[in-house]
């Protein structure tokens, strides 16, 4: 049966195809083996560099016949080898060609071919497998379906430089994520591939290097192993450092820098190690220069962003290396009208991929500005930087939008910039637009940034509130994504801090008590903590406390009871007791505690708890309830004395913790006054 292309071929085209290509397929069925061999050789010559001929032969059913001949025991090794070569050539055509080959189960047939004893046939099968596995339409899992394949490929590594090159290339393309890394690692990938770094063949060295970069990525186990591997008496990191020297090909420099970057991020190499500070980082900065090709600049900037992301010292060093901050500004001007690109193909390619440069620049700016105020200032003062970020927020590419939001989020950690540049450019407007309709990955970063714009000192807070932010954020708290729920409630918490009564009422109305209590029983600890933070901010200043407790008191007291009785950590219970302390500070609200014996017993219990934080929080509740200058204080003091609170206060006044001791003494003075 012929393996048809996904796109149906019109009959008129098929008739042309039949005339020019049919004879190639017919010869594959000749009873004379020599004529079949010659037919395959002629087919090989006909398809080289001819995508139309490749598609024609696939439509006419050449693939099943070639696979049949490849697997027949009666076929000569030469015929099998030529069949593998033709199949490899067909695979080098379009993605549709590869899909057709996969539909005909080419991979199991080629893997079976690797069991042959003939090296030329094995190499032809591997070359074809390499071409198929490097196609984006091939599922990587097909390499791991049969557990015997990986160990067999490891054994074939020693056969020739071609088996080494192709197998390493297959591994580096099919190693996606920790499960694949573990399989390859457990089958001895590190030991089997390490010595290939000293091969006489550049291609073998390069593919081995690429293997190590994908094996080490976010993998502490592999990275820790690589640090101690010796090859010809030299440690692997030293070999990688030699490979990123200026006289080496750019591809080798970049991939070596990636290996060292990934090992550093996985904790196998210290961030202050010379091989990172003096070798890897400067090499990656070099890759960002405008002399480099577009893809080299993209890869250099993205790898550097990843290297320095968690380390403030590396961020500072990078920011003053080769005028990097100014150099990145060129990423937005490419290709320019005066570009030196004379190669039309290259210019066409770069125009299609220029957005990748902008994405990489945003990513690197985000990492550079993650911690240091001076660096953020330098970034923002770079020509038209804020305008570029704002433009980036509305680009058609999701990846560029995401990188722009991340960059903005990084810069929004600066109090100074929130008050100046962010206000001057009304950044909140495009951000609110982004939040209206975006994929989750963008929403998570954009909502996280909104949390910063809603801080009480931010001038953007007011206009954001007026543009319908409350409803938007309340909507986020209902998301299935826990990160969005956290950010939604976090932003509301910031919004409620020292806010007017109207804003607090809007939040409670939009959120609804049902949703508030759903969030208080959320399985995600961060959501619970931020919801308690919101409640604490809502219940601040006496008139607000009394107003909210008069309408929602019963439900809030119920929620507080449930949390104090539940299996929660110290931080959760401390926040909950602080909410009670705020309620106890109300004028009428404190009666909701005084008339609730269950809550009073819980406060008493936490006064005697073994954890200082909980004792202090419980003490705040008591202090607010017994404060002398407030109406009804005598009755409250008497009730609490009858409960044994004064005895506990005497005990706590002897506490070795000075803070707790002082609070207890201050509370006792209320009884003496």
Q: Can you state the angle between helices 344-368 and 398-411, rounded to 10 degrees?
A: 30
Nearest Cα residue to 259 out of 278, 272, 244: 244
Q: If you write DSSP's letter for every residue of 601-644 in order, what string do you get?
A: HHHHHHHT-S-HHHHHHHHHHHHHHH-TTSTTHHHHHHHHHHTT
pLDDT surpassing 90 at residue 20? no
pLDDT in tens, 308-326: 999 999 999 999 999 999 9
Instruction: Judge residue 471's burial from the number of C-beta atoms within 10 Å of its C-beta, 0-12 exposed, 13-18 middle, 19 or more buried.
Output: exposed
Residue range 590-638, pLDDT digits in tens: 999 999 999 999 999 999 999 999 999 999 999 999 998 888 889 999 9
Give per-residue pLDDT as tens, 479-519: 999 999 999 999 999 999 999 999 999 999 999 989 998 99
Give the pLDDT confidence of 521-573 residue by residue, as tens digits: 899 999 999 999 999 999 999 999 999 999 999 999 999 999 999 889 999 99
The Cα–Cα gap between 126 and 124 comes to 5
Q: Which of 245-249, 367-371, 414-418 has the lowest mean pLDDT?
A: 414-418
Lowest mean pLDDT among 13-17, 157-161, 470-474, 511-515: 13-17
- Residue range 221-273, pLDDT digits in tens: 999 999 999 999 999 999 999 999 999 999 999 999 999 999 999 999 999 99
Q: Which residue has the higher pLDDT, 426 or 487?
A: 487
Task: Dump the DSSP string for 11-73.
Answer: HHHHHHHHHHHHHHHHGGG-SSHHHHHHHHHHHHHHHTT-HHHHHHHHHTTHHHHHHHHHH-T
Fold of domain 414-538: 1.25.10
Residue 234 backbone phi and psi in degrees, to 5: -115, 140
Token representation of residue 376? 């953020």
Q: What pLDDT, in 10s, does the model give residues 573-596?
A: 999 999 999 999 999 999 999 999
First and final CA of the chain: distance in angstroms? 100
Residue 16 confidence (pLDDT): 55
Q: How many CA atoms lie within 13 A of 187 on its CB side?
A: 19
- Whether 8 has a pLDDT exceeding 70, the answer reads no
The CATH number that domain 566-672 falls under is 1.25.10.10
Convert the pLDDT of each residue in 431-452 to its tens digit: 899 888 889 999 999 999 899 8
Distance, in Å, from the CA atom of 257 to the CA atom of 241, rounded to the nearest integer, reads: 8
The tokens describing 547, both together, are: 């107003």
Q: What sign results for the dihedral spanned by CA atoms 309, 313, 316, 320?
A: negative
Instruction: Give dist(CA 287, CA 475) in Å, integer.
Output: 43
pLDDT of residue 230: 95
Per CATH, 414-538 and 566-672 having the same topology is answered yes
Residue of 639, 524, 539 whose CA lies nearest to 584: 539
Residue 231, strand partner residues: 234
Res. 341: pLDDT tops 80 = no
Q: Where are the domains of the chain?
A: 414-538, 566-672
350 neighbors 294 (Cβ within 8 angstroms): yes
Q: Say if residue 136's pLDDT is above 90.
A: yes
Work out the pLDDT band at 112, boundaries 50, 70, 90.
very high
Least confident range of 266-280, 286-300, 344-358: 344-358
């Amino acid at each position: 049966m012929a393996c048809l292309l996904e796109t149906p071929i019109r009959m008129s085209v098929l008739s042309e195809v039949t005339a020019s290509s049919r004879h190639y397929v017919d010869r594959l069925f000749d009873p004379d083996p020599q004529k079949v061999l010659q037919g395959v050789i002629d087919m090989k010559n006909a398809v080289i560099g001819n995508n139309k001929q490749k598609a024609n032969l696939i439509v006419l059913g050449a693939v099943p016949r070639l696979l049949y001949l490849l697997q027949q025991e009666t076929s000569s090794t030469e015929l099998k080898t030529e069949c593998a070569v033709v199949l490899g050539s067909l695979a080098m055509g379009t993605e549709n060609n590869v899909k057709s080959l996969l539909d005909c189960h080419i991979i199991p047939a080629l893997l079976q071919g690797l069991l042959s004893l003939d090296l030329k046939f094995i190499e032809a099968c591997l070359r074809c497998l390499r071409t198929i596995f490097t196609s984006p339409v091939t599922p990587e899992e097909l390499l791991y379906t049969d557990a015997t394949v990986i160990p067999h490929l490891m054994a074939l590594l020693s056969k020739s430089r071609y088996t080494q090159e192709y197998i390493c290339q297959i591994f580096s393309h099919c190693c996606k994520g920790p499960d694949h890394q573990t399989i390859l690692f457990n089958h001895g990938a590190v030991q089997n591939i390490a010595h290939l770094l000293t091969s006489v063949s550049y291609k073998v060295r390069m593919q081995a290097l690429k293997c190590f970069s994908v094996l080490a990525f976010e993998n502490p186990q592999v990275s820790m192993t690589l640090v101690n591997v010796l090859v010809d008496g030299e440690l692997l990191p030293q070999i990688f450092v030699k490979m990123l020297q200026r006289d080496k090909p750019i591809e080798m420099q970049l991939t070596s820098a990636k290996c060292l970057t990934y090992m550093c991020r996985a904790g196998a190499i210290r961030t202050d190690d010379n091989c990172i500070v003096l070798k890897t980082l400067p090499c990656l900065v070099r890759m960002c220069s405008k002399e480099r090709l577009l893809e080299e600049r993209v890869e250099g900037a993205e790898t550097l962003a990843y290297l320095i992301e968690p380390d403030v010292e590396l961020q500072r060093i990078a920011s003053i290396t080769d005028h990097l901050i100014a150099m990145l500004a060129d990423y937005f001007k490419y290709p320019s009208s005066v570009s030196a690109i004379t190669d039309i193909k290259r210019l066409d390619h770069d125009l299609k991929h220029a957005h990748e440069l902008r994405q990489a620049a945003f990513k690197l700016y985000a990492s550079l500005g993650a911690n240091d105020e001076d660096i953020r200032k330098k970034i923002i003062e770079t020509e038209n930087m804020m305008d570029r970020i704002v433009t980036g927020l509305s680009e058609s590419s999701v990846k560029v939008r995401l990188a722009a939001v991340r960059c903005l989020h990084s810069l929004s950690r600066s109090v100074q910039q929130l008050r100046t540049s962010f206000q001057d450019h009304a950044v909140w407007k495009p951000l609110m637009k982004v939040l209206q309709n975006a994929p989750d990955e963008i929403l998570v970063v954009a909502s996280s940034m909104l949390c910063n714009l809603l801080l009480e000192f931010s001038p953007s807070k007011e206009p954001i509130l007026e543009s319908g932010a409350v409803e938007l954020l309340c909507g986020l708290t209902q998301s299935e994504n826990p990160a969005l729920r956290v950010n939604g409630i976090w932003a509301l918490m910031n919004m409620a801090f020292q806010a007017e009564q109207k804003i607090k009422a809007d939040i409670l109305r939009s959120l609804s008590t049902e949703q508030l209590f759903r969030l208080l029983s959320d399985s995600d600890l961060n959501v619970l903590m931020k919801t308690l933070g919101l409640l604490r901010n809502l219940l601040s200043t006496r008139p607000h406390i009394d107003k909210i407790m008069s309408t929602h008191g019963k439900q809030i007291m119920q929620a507080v009871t449930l949390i104090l009785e539940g299996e929660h950590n110290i931080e959760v219970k401390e926040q909950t007791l602080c909410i009670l302390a705020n309620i106890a500070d109300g004028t009428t609200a404190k009666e909701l505690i005084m008339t609730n014996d269950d809550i009073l017993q819980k406060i008493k219990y936490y006064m005697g708890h073994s954890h200082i934080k909980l004792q202090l929080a419980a003490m705040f509740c008591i202090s607010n309830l017994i404060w002398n200058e407030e109406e009804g204080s005598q009755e409250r003091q008497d009730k609490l004395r009858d409960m044994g609170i004064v005895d506990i206060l005497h005990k706590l006044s002897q506490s070795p913790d000075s803070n707790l001791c002082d609070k207890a003494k201050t509370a006792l003075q209320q009884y003496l006054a």
